[in-house]
Amino acid sequence: MPDLKRVHAIVHGRVQGVYYRASTKDKALSLHLTGWVRNMADGNVEFEAQGSAGNVDALVAWALLGPPDAIVNKVDTGPLSPIPTESHFEITY
């Protein structure tokens, strides 16, 4: 098993009501990542993603663009300890 990387991210901008969560999940699954994504009360979106370093970095790079109707102002990220037993990526509420 390759070394796991896990990040926490907060996506700022017009990212709610534009399929950002669903698109993030789809992209994460296509990259074979685990984790979760959710809307925040302040209008931003938060996610944690885990997998190979290259794939996690690819999701963070994608998050700067998001789906077509999103307007992303910035993405704040920070490292987290991996959760080796995590097995899926989900939308949480």
Q: Annotated catalytic, 55?
A: no
Active-site residue identified among 21, 38, 44, 73: 21
The letter for the amino acid at 54 is: G
Relative orientation angle of helices 20-30 and 53-63, to the nearest 10 degrees: 160
Residue 42 is encoded by which pair of tokens?
């302040």
Burial of 68 (0-12, 13-18, 19+ CB in 10 A): exposed
Is 38 an active-site residue? Answer: no
Catalytic residue among 6, 14, 38, 39: 39
Enzyme catalytic residues: 21, 39
